[in-house]
């Protein structure tokens, strides 16, 4: 177990800050001179230092049973006149886990060999060893007979299981005359809040074994120095740091910077609690932040504030941060820095900035991003459609890369415009990006997925598609967060997303027709799973709208899909498409669910169509037309047309084929 901060036996520290009137000449009863004056075995040590004090009345205690050795002891012989006495001491548990029990037998033997006092005591570990935390006041009443002139006082470790993972700590040993136990020593007065920037490691903080200080001058982390607190190292849930400090009644603001040490896009969260010394709950809140995927300096840290009021009954508070990350914090740790307590209520939050740097000519300034999103292009090698630089998502073939910005926007109808490209090592590699717009109230305004295939090279604006997504901002919203997330098939291996020319325009988007409706460009323009492929070519034509169709559920994979988002005007529409079945024998049934979704996820229409296979493929043969009528309400400007493979039996030995997709307006 961890028995760091040991003191050598010759350490001499300050005088006791607390003592009781003692009739015995006990030597070094509070161990501020190590174990001087005591006889002890080889695994009894003094622990604690002035900079990291342990115990109730100084900085040092006796630790029995170091290295998990059973039977450890300390004893001292001293003169004592006949009479009644009370032995008092403070006892703690130095353990690797909360709840482990430390136990000790106390014996007092007279110089005539008689046992004049005996008792068994125990205490449970409350957490990391720091200050007086977890120490309990213990007493033993005994009588010295007339035949005794001196006694030997012994403390022996009797912890369960041989004291594995837990040691006994003893402090402030005192003897007083009489049979009435003295009052316990008063707790030390709380200090002022300290080390909120963690430049002294975790000094002044109580913490569990999986909270660490990380960062140094060679590799700085955080916003106000080089070191931060990292909770939940080794993916252990429930990690915490805590500090008790003096605070007078009044209004206060807790401010801190929070980051996430983990894989890109993983969420780190902490529960913050503030308790008064009278046991009252003064404040509680939860905060979270997404991991950018890279830990470097202040990158990815967000400022957090919380206001609370200390009542008149409270003179000190305990502030605790506890790791509350989803999934037990697997793969991600919360990082904390720059913790301050200031008097007064929190200032009003600054207004969100306007949308900025949509063309990325200032790099990624103004954007939140993961560690695998970079600006690409410059004056000598321009990339993009409206300058020389674009944003490249998914560098180094890392999936889930993202780019986000929060900005102020007026209520009303707006259109997000952007250009989407692909940076691939070969032509025809597909990409996909999920675009979402969410208000500060958490309302989803619009979400869509767009796809574009790579050209296999970069040439300024070549291969970019101009896209638009409409959304309506309610009057109650103060800001909107725009997020682009890389959803490219196969984790984007060999191909990255390119985003450029992002801007917000007032009004509805201009209607945009279906892209590649007959699949003569493969699956370009369509978002799809890895089991959807184009089928057919000029030498072996398949389908009705040319020589290529879309084949869903290849390799007998169930749940295959194909979808495309486009801008439309309100009114009545008819979706038509050709459906066929690609089976290994005649009569096998393929089925497709056609769905029309608005950009906020509302289902506008749905149908299920079936087709039987002929057992062979031939252009146009076996395909039948299907239609789905629906109405687009006035509040909707974008729809997603989605085809889902719902073939019986998971589509074993048969695939659904879709071709010649058309969308026809029938007016208002």
410 pLDDT above the threshold of 90? yes
Least confident range of 126-130, 240-244, 492-496, 562-566: 126-130
21 pLDDT above the threshold of 50? no
Average pLDDT over residues 60-81: 94
Q: How many Å apart are CA 184 and CA 193, to the nearest integer?
A: 26
171-181 pLDDT per residue, tens:
999 999 998 88
- In this prediction, residue 2 has a pLDDT band, given cuts at 50, 70 and 90, of very low
Q: How many Å apart are CA 158 and CA 105, to the nearest integer?
A: 6
At residue 187, the pLDDT reads 66
Give the dihedral sign, CA 321/258/261/497.
positive
The DSSP secondary-structure symbol of 635 reads: T
At residue 342, the pLDDT reads 94
Class of domain 368-506: mainly beta
The three-state (H, E, C) secondary structure of 380-407, written as one string: CECECCCCCCEEEECHHHCCCCEEEEEE
At residue 6, the pLDDT reads 32
446 pLDDT above the threshold of 50? yes
Q: How many Å apart are CA 546 and CA 619, to the nearest integer?
A: 9
367-408 pLDDT per residue, tens:
988 878 999 999 999 999 999 999 999 988 888 889 999 999
Task: Give the number of other Cβ atoms within 10 Å of residue 615's Cβ.
Answer: 14
Q: How many Å apart are CA 653 and CA 589, to the nearest integer?
A: 10
At residue 643, the pLDDT reads 97
Give the start-end residues of each E strand in 178-266: 206-207, 211-214, 228-231, 240-246, 250-262
Average pLDDT, the chain: 89
Q: How many Å apart are CA 172 and CA 60, to the nearest integer?
A: 10
> In angstroms, what is the C-alpha Rg of the chain?
36
Q: Is the Cβ–Cβ distance between 387 and 379 less than 8 Å?
A: no
DSSP string, 292-357: -S---BTTT-EEEEEEEEE-TT-SEEEEEEEE--GGGGTTEEEEEEEEEEEESPPPPPPPPPPP--
Q: Please list, residue by residue across 343-372, b when 16 or more beta carbons sit within 10 angstroms of its beta carbon and e when fewer do.
A: eeeeeeeeebeebebbbbbeebebbbbbbb
Q: How many Å apart are CA 468 and CA 504, to the nearest integer?
A: 10
Which residues have a Cβ under 8 Å from the Cβ of 69 and sit 6 or more positions away? 42, 43, 163
- In this prediction, residue 24 has a pLDDT band, given cuts at 50, 70 and 90, of low
Q: 39-177, superfamily in CATH? A: Galactose-binding domain-like (2.60.120.260)
Give the start-end residues of each E strand in 459-529: 465-473, 479-486, 495-506, 527-528
- In this prediction, residue 3 has a pLDDT band, given cuts at 50, 70 and 90, of very low
At residue 35, the pLDDT reads 96
CA angle, residues 398, 497, 493, in degrees to nearest 5 = 40
Decide the pairing of beta strands 390-393 and 373-376.
antiparallel
Q: How many Å apart are CA 30 and CA 172, to the nearest integer?
A: 4
Give the start-end residues of each E strand in 65-207: 73-79, 83-95, 101-110, 115-124, 136-144, 150-157, 166-177, 206-207
Q: Which position has the higher pLDDT, 260 or 25?
A: 260
At residue 589, the pLDDT reads 94
Q: How many Å apart are CA 561 and CA 558, to the nearest integer?
A: 9
- 558 phi-psi bin (left φ>0, alpha ψ -120 to 50, beta other): beta
Q: Is the Cβ–Cβ distance between 599 and 640 less than 8 Å?
A: yes
| CA 391 to chain CA centroid, nearest Å | 25
Average pLDDT over residues 573-599: 94
Give the Å distances, CA to CA, from 565 to 11, 493, 585, 662, 666.
Answer: 74, 24, 35, 13, 19
State pTM to two decimals.
0.59
CA angle, residues 609, 614, 620, in degrees to nearest 5 = 75
**CATH code of the domain made up of 206-343:** 2.60.120.260
25 pLDDT above the threshold of 90? no
Calculate what percentage of the chain has a pLDDT beyond 90. 64
Which residues have a Cβ under 8 Å from the Cβ of 183 and sit 6 or more positions away? none
Q: Which of 125, 180, 113, 183 is CA-nearest to residue 150?
A: 113
Total H helices, total E strands in the chain: 0, 40
Instruction: Decide which of 3.30.565.10, 2.60.120.260, 3.60.15.10, 3.20.20.70 is the CATH code for 527-665.
Output: 2.60.120.260
- CATH 2.60.120.260 spans which residues of the chain? 39-177, 206-343, 368-506, 527-665
At residue 300, the pLDDT reads 85
Q: Which of 60, 52, 54 is CA-nearest to residue 9?
A: 60
Q: Please list, residue by residue across 559-596, b when 16 or more beta carbons sit within 10 angstroms of its beta carbon and e when fewer do.
A: ebbbbbbbbbeeeebebebbbbbbbeeeebbbbbebbb
Least confident range of 59-73, 372-386, 597-611, 613-627: 613-627
462 pLDDT above the threshold of 70? yes
Give the Å distances, CA to CA, from 234 to 262, 588, 598.
Answer: 11, 52, 43
Say if residue 62 is exposed, middle or buried (CB neighbours under 10 Å; 0-12, 13-18, 19+). Answer: buried
Token pair 């690797």 in the structure block, residue: 96
Q: How many Å apart are CA 230 and CA 284, to the nearest integer?
A: 20
């Amino acid at each position: 177990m961890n028995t760091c901060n040991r003191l050598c036996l010759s350490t001499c520290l300050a005088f006791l800050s607390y003592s009781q009137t003692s009739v015995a000449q006990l030597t070094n009863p509070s161990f501020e001179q190590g174990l001087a004056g005591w006889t002890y075995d080889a695994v009894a040590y003094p622990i604690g230092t002035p900079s990291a004090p342990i115990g109730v009345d100084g900085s040092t205690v006796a630790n029995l049973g170091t290295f998990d050795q059973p039977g450890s002891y300390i004893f001292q012989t001293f003169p004592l006149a006949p009479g009644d006495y009370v032995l008092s001491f403070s006892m703690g548990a130095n353990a690797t886990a909360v709840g482990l029990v430390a136990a000790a037998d106390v014996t007092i033997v007279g110089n005539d060999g008689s046992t004049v006092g005996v008792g068994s005591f125990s205490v449970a570990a409350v957490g990391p060893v720091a200050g007086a935390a977890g120490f309990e006041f213990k007493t033993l009443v005994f009588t010295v007979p007339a035949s005794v002139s001196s006694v030997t006082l012994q403390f022996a470790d009797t912890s369960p299981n041989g004291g594995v993972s837990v040691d006994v700590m003893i402090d402030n040993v005192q003897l007083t005359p009489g049979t009435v136990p003295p009052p316990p020593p008063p707790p030390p007065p709380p200090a002022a809040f300290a080390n909120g920037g963690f430049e002294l490691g975790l000094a002044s903080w109580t913490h569990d074994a999986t909270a660490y200080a990380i960062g140094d001058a060679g590799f700085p982390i955080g916003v106000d120095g080089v070191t931060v607190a990292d909770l939940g190292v080794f993916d252990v849930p429930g990690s915490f740091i805590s500090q008790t400090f003096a605070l007078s009644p009044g209004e206060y603001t807790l401010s801190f910077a929070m980051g996430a040490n983990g894989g890109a896009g993983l969420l780190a969260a902490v529960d913050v609690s503030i308790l008064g010394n009278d046991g009252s709950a003064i404040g509680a809140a939860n905060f979270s932040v997404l991991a950018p995927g890279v830990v470097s300096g202040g990158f990815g840290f967000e400022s957090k504030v919380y206001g609370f009021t200390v009542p008149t009954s409270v003179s000190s508070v305990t502030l605790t941060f506890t790791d509350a990350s989803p999934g037990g914090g697997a793969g991600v740790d919360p990082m904390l820095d720059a913790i301050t307590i200031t008097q007064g209520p929190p200032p009003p939050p600054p207004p969100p900035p306007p949308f900025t740097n949509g063309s990325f000519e200032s790099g990624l300034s103004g954007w939140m991003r993961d560690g695998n999103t970079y600006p690409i292009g410059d004056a000598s090698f321009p990339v993009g459609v409206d300058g020389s630089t674009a944003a490249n998502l998914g560098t180094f073939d890392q999936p889930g890369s993202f780019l986000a910005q929060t900005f102020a926007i007026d209520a009303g109808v707006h259109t997000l415009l952007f250009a989407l490209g692909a940076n691939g090592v070969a032509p025809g590699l597909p990409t996909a990006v999920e675009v979402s717009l969410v208000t500060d109230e958490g309302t989803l305004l619009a979400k869509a997925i767009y796809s574009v295939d790579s050209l296999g090279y970069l040439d300024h604006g070549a291969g970019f598609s101009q896209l638009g997504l409409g959304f309506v901002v309610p009057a109650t919203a103060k800001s909107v967060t725009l997020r682009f997330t890389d959803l490219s098939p196969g984790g984007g291996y060999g191909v990255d997303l390119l985003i450029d020319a992002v801007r917000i325009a007032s009004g509805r988007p201009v209607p945009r027709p279906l892209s590649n409706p007959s699949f003569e460009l493969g699956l370009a323009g369509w978002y799809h799973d890895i089991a959807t492929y184009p089928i057919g070519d000029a030498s072996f034509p398949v389908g009705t709208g040319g020589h290529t169709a879309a084949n869903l559920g290849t390799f007998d994979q169930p749940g295959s899909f194909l979808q495309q988002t486009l801008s439309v005007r309100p009114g009545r529409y008819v979706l038509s498409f050709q459906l066929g079945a690609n089976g290994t024998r005649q009569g096998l049934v393929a089925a497709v669910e056609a769905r029309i979704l608005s950009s906020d996820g509302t289902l506008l229409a749905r149908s299920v169509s079936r087709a039987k296979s002929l057992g062979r493929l031939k252009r146009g043969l076996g395909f039948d037309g299907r239609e789905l009528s629906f109405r687009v309400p006035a509040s909707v400007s974008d729809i997603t047309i989605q085809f889902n493979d719902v073939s019986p039996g998971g589509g074993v030995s048969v695939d659904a084929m879709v071709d010649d997709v058309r969308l026809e307006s029938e007016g208002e």
